[in-house]
Structure 1
Amino acid sequence: MGLGLLLSAWTLLFLFRIVLTWYPQVDLSQGVWKLVAIPTEPVLGVSRKLIAPIGGVDVTPVIWVGLVSLIRELLVGQQGLLTQMVMRLSVLPA
């Protein structure tokens, strides 16, 4: 449950980064925006080196939303690997 919550929060932060790209005047190094930038910038910085902007638009936050959502679903979703393991362990005889 904690991993699912963490991955959901990270997805939400990437969604905030997508919205913030519409407002280039926002300084992510000041105020409450640091809370959005600090957990996301390390992976976005590396991604930007690998994936160039498309039409001048940074698409890396969109890619990370998709990747983190996929990882969350594969691990802790309704049919996720960790969910299935917990379910199987709970039905094993003691």
Structure 2
Amino acid sequence: MTPLPLAMLPAVHLVLGILLAVWTLMFLVRIVLTWYPQIDLKAGMWPLVAWPTEPLLSATRRLVAPIGGVDVTPVIWVGLLSLLRELLVGQQGLLSQVMLHAAAATA
């Protein structure tokens, strides 16, 4: 019998992987939207992308100025989220390794 936290680990692994992938996809959309500054982020479906990303982008913009007039903060967040996803739920990630060792211990 496995303890409850270890039993929940596959579900946490899956949900965290999906959330980080969706968040990364939203920042990728924000990268494309920087090419079209005339798009209103408050109209249509764009608030679905702007609402979860803008707080992080606005905080990062205070630290990183635009380079050549281009906002690079979405690129920074794609890199950070990709790194975090790999460290936590990637093939050699922390949660993946804990799941692997827990499965080996119960076998």
What's the TM-score once normalised by structure 1's chain length?
0.96
- Cα RMSD over matched residues? 1.0
Instruction: Provide the residue aligned with 2:63 in structure 1.
Output: 50
Residues 15-94 of structure 1 mapped to structure 2, 5 A cutoff: 15-93=28-106
Moved over 3 A (4+): none
- Structure of larger gyration radius: 2
- What is the rounded CA distance, in whole Å, between the counterparts of 1:38 and 1:53 in structure 2? 21
Q: How many correspondences in the alignment?
A: 94
5+ unaligned residues in a row in structure 2: which ranges?
A: 1-13
- What is the rounded CA distance, in whole Å, between the counterparts of 2:43 and 2:54 in structure 1? 14
Give the aligned residue type for 2:40: D
Percent identity of the aligned residues?
Answer: 67
5+ unaligned residues in a row in structure 1: which ranges?
A: none
- What is the rounded CA distance, in whole Å, between the counterparts of 2:55 and 2:99 in structure 1? 32
